[in-house]
Structure 1
């Protein structure tokens, strides 16, 4: 799963020609998106057919047809199967025309899935001609789909005519054939999503900013990992076009008096500050008119800060907010009051102060790679084959950390992997150099001990176990050569070590350089010429000698010099240096641009008092935020967020740009929950789902219950006035599922409710063998009781089960549960980046019942482990715990009485 943005560049010869191209392409994109499903299917069929019929003779062989069906995820058992489906004339010729191919497709889809709609088609059709009339379709929309607009006969007629888009059937009484009706059920026109929510609700945009969830990005400029990926202007454009309203600028001193933006002290590339501002201006309000917050991570000198302030004013002009909207207000302004405005989030000078000193409550952190003294690629020798492999090294004030094996030429590898065939005209070019995705689920960790072998196994074979050895990962070894590592013994040490290192889960080992001697090897070692060693000072027996190779003499000298500086520096000087870094001078010109988003240290004692100022806000790494978004302090943190803004960002050890779970932060009212937009993972998919609301404006008004002082985010009993719901879902079928590899997929569907911890639950269907084009599942209801529906998401994930019984991700769809329609509905599927997959969809039947289902009448969720701990049985569990506690106290009193008698 690599992050790729591709572009094609045009060079028109005149302004008029450029305008024509832009208008034409814009119309083409818009028309394609608006086209009804039958036209999209027609386009897809022709694309598949003519990909084989390159000569445009309108004929393909039966052999090519069989191969094509395999390519679209459908297994053809044998040629006899095709003979039964095709007309005799086609078989005698040995070729298949496009018209017969299209008819074959419709026949395959209908024959495989006609049972899906059989139950209600029989009710709808009372005449022998087997057509679904306008009246039949209208009854279906009203009775099964509960569509209020369908009571108007003219609207139903207009809908059918637009959907069919057939000039020959533009009649007063349009109708569907059965296969057309079945296609409609799977179509985007029958989506489970309530399309009315695609529009912004202006009446919901008058609350203070602190009452909204605001779409926020972390290290917006990056296109991959946090230490070696490309920084790009297109990353800013993409985020803004996705509706993101809070973006980050990491500013460092650059040439010519102007800052550059990159992840400091890493191998990430640099982009110009003024280019970033121009990109922001161009794309700021294309998707949404509501305010943008620029989160400035400032590492610049006073001179360059002044230049930053000048460029903010010059580029943004009237867009830049330079004064308070209402000086007498006692809260933040609303999104409506700040329409098309850009706000600066940056430290602000205190009145009469020339500089701002960062409080000790925001400590200097060596765990952040941007605070490292030096980092880069060095080489370690494999003890087995004596080959040298690249690793990422990070030097801090007392230790040197190194990662698992990485790649020194990762860009070239990816370019080769994704290289387009030379026979094609290669117009689209990747904007970004492809970056390698580092696997976080590291199964083995080497410490600085003399132990040479640790392996992790899965007990899946009595003869061979899977394990790691040296540089070889997850291979099968004889069972008597594999040692099982106890999770209880190994995991705590591993977790603590990774938590305290700047490399996080990528950590392989570390060395305390203050207790080591640096020995340069002029003769080199093995195939490497530039080698130095870290030798323990006390005794070599206390730890192994670590031989490290550099790629050049200059690099070796630089590393040795930096390490020696660290070993010679006293603790007092280190502390003094940290204190100097805490003292941050701020240019007055830049400080004056900070109106509302003024970062200050978080002070829990100010919450709910007169000292709390709505202009102040605090930022938290996820690890610190977790101390507040819990049962103990969650209610207090929610109280803070009702008045002030808070920003949560990923911990520094997430070098692979993975994301944390945003749900607890959202539930406790945090507005700016910043995620890595370039990463295709579940947290980012949840983020995309939340900000589908309110017309994808980037602002979603938090539920009113969150502004109730009695509400506790982790106590369902505090949901006053919130009615629980029971959701019943049946998965009926799917169409056009994507492939995974070359084989035909065996899909299963996982259905998950995500939200407050008392609502979380997950269930799944069985897998369907060898069919990704038109699989079906037997009707089986999955029931979920949701206590807090205003903060719950319904998530569908399609997995493929391979020959080793492993599940592989194929597609997903995630929605806020309160915004879904009931009845027989299509679930349009998306890829891991939440981009639409062509024609891919599920067909489900969904029913939502208001109120709680009784425990005695509650069925269909026995297969879910989480379900046993979810309402409605939670009341019984609480009562049982109370009874046990009472019984325990009674027994203690009985023992005390017995002791007294003795």
Structure 2
């Protein structure tokens, strides 16, 4: 298998030869490790020089980027000892911690920085076929126990191969050299036989006249009838042949072979997610209150709220995931510099100004749309003023400090108008109309809100507010909530309240429609209960159902709730803003999540999902020789009536290419709010099933037809080539 000419690259050659680099974990933990790139051009191997045989490896595909110089908290802390031109940081996808390294010379540092960047680029641009070849090669490496370049018959069981099919095929078909072991080329041939997917072949046969290829017209029929593509199917068929057909002969005939057909089905275009909804397709010129906004809680934490490590890295990760509302808890520091941590706990502390610098650098890397900085302020007036100075100096023009057109707004400005701006959400002296009162009443922090058992009118806390800080608040003035009626009569569109999850849940039940109307004009922020000391999350769906925009989650905690958040915000170019459905934007709306049939334009849909097969499902716990028993569950989240789960039976001992052919049916009453989550688990009759992978997307982004679902890990990162093959049909429910 060719890893291409990249291995002739001078930087990559240095990596293959190996280097001694210092791995740094803290100011006191700096140890030499020998690092090298293995022959596959994808695996980085390292070990301590003394620790006997123990070594570690990771794949270039797990890396997202390389940062040069002192670009991490750890490397900054040892900056006096090691100059920037020796230092670099390997940044991993998902929630895996970064690796900080120091080279022995600037030249060596450069070779690794540039070499790893080239390899990351190559890994990202591999096409489907190269990916599959790479996967085969990895398996051969893992299965070739004694490293003799052969794989004997005892080894394939490692391959999670179907244990019935392999032994039958192995002797006749693959072992040409008659030695009871496979060379790599034979192995690839063997793998191809094993992966000929009957279920894809059957679909191909239905449309192919000669059973060998799909002529242009036959492919058009398939796209029109099965994939429901309508008018554009003719044009699309031509493009697909150009893009995915590997055989030049077939291309010349305007035909598609089974190989090309399978590549198309496994591509982004064959995915369950509508390609046009991946891009920025929504109107971005409506008031901020008309959008769901991807929002993080306790953004400074990488772990839990009691002992967790406060870190700038947590801000970088949240912003890279498309988060548009980050939270800062600021407290008075000893030397006049405000610090950020989770008050009254053992979480570590970081400087306020360092967070603002990080925000400046990363705020708009993933999305141009505005970032809201939610300030939970526990500082005295003096350090509040210091915060105001840092905000102005570090953020400069990026910080919005004045009304957009000088006019007192009747409605909030739009994401489009606020592009590239950071908005401060905090308390403010007086309103935008007047600026007179030095003392601030009537405002409580999340903690006080919790302590008061959410009493409607907490004791008026008199806290002094710094005028400089107050002046930086424009469109997001924090205010205590006095009920929907009070808001309807008196509230300004730039005033916003925070609700704990339990209070928001109660309001949703008691006055759902009032909450929706309130949210058409004003922003509301929901935050997790103070009792969630493990930084667990609540289900955001209940809050989205009533139009709450800033539903803050602990981004650092993997699980269903973050899957839903990632799923909702996967559309619209992952820009962190999703336009609410029209019935959540209309100030006179009659919509109630509990009575979806009562709204105008109510049209329930039937969703039918035939779960056909799975491909290369990863083994969860890497016990020798253990094979997965996979099942698929489809979960619907939405208005209460739409919440549903259905699952297939499990298949014993086959993660390689399990076939279910089972159909799951759902009725969806409010399609515009529904999210669909596909989960694959390893069945275990004795204990809880193990999680294998998942993919979540908005119902409105689903493409009908034969589709692949590319699975994600618990952290929301891709795990190619793991996928599900399904046939989806959506019809009117009558």
In the alignment, structure 1 residue 668 sits paired with structure 2 residue 546? yes
1:123 maps to 2:213: no
Task: Look up the SS of the partner of 2:385 in the other structure.
Answer: helix
Question: 2:522, 2:725 → 1: CA distance?
Answer: 43
Aligned mate of 1:746, from 612, 629, 633: 629
Alpha-carbon distance between aligned partners in 2 of 1:46 and 1:774, rounded to the nearest angstrom? 18
Counterparts of 1:182-581 in structure 2, within 5 Å, are: 182=262, 184-201=264-281, 204-326=283-405, 327-350=407-430, 351-359=435-443, 364=448, 367=451
Is 1:89 the equivalent of 2:171?
no
1:734 is the counterpart of 2:617: no
**Aligned residue number for residue 244 of structure 2:** 163
Matching of residue 583 in structure 1 with residue 662 in structure 2: no
Structure 2 gap segments, 5+ residues each = 1-93
Deviation per CA, 1:276-311, whole angstroms, max 9, x where unpaired? Answer: 111111111011000000001111121111111001
Whole-Å Cα distance in 1 between the matches of residues 611 and 637 of structure 2? 18
> Separation in 2 of the partners of 1:209 and 1:249?
21
CA distance in 2, matches of 1:257, 1:821: 56
| Corresponding residue of 2:493 | 614
Gap regions ≥5 residues in structure 1: 369-498, 501-577, 854-902
Cα deviations by residue, 1:783-804 (Å, 9 ceiling, x for unpaired) = 2111111011111111111252
Q: Which residue of 2 aligns with 1:451?
A: none
Q: Is the 8 A contact 1:798 1:809 kept in 2?
A: yes
Of 83, 97, 100, 2:186 maps to 100
Match of 2:221?
Answer: 139
- 1:813 equivalent among 690, 695, 701: 695
CA distance in 2, matches of 1:756, 1:39: 43
Report which of the two structures shows the higher radius of gyration computed on alpha carbons. 1
1:836-855 to 2 correspondence within 5 Å? 836-850=718-732, 852-853=733-734
Is 1:824 aligned to 2:702, yes or no? Answer: no
Residue of structure 2 equivalent to 1:861: none
1:46-61 to structure 2, matched below 5 A, reads: 46-53=137-144, 58-61=149-152
Match of 2:533 in 1: 655
TM-score with structure 1 setting the length? 0.65
> Contact 1:131 / 1:177 at 8 angstroms: preserved in 2?
yes
Cα distance change on mapping 1:825 and 1:258 into 2, 3 Å: same
Q: Secondary structure at the match of 1:609?
A: helix
Paired residues of 1:38 and 1:163 also in contact (CA < 8 A): no
Query: Matched residues in 1 for 2:421 and 2:204: separation?
Result: 53
TM-score by length of structure 2 reads 0.80
112, 124, 144: which is aligned to 1:33? 124
- Distance of 2:420 and 2:443 partners within structure 1: 34
Give the length in aligned residue pairs: 628
How far apart, CA to CA, are the structure 2 residues paired with 1:247 and 1:361?
16
1: CA distance between counterparts of 2:218 and 2:116? 40
Q: In the alignment, is the contact (CA less than 8 A) between 2:512 and 2:593 conserved in 1?
A: yes
Q: Does structure 1 conserve the Cα–Cα contact (< 8 Å) formed by 2:268 and 2:275?
A: no
Aligned alpha-carbon RMSD (Å) = 2.9
- 2:44 aligned partner: none
Shift of 1:17: 9.0
Give, in whole Å, the separation in 2 of the partners of 1:149 and 1:24: 47
Counterpart among 134, 137, 141 of residue 43 in structure 1: 134
Could you say which structure has the greater relative contact order, defined with CA pairs below 8 angstroms and 6 or more residues apart? 1
Q: How far did residue 24 of structure 1 move?
A: 7.1
Compared with structure 1, are the counterparts of its residues 131 and 345 closer, same or farther at alpha carbon in structure 2 (3 Å cutoff)?
Answer: same
Aligned residue runs from structure 1 range 603-642, under 5 A: 603-604=482-483, 606-607=485-486, 609-630=488-509, 632-642=510-520
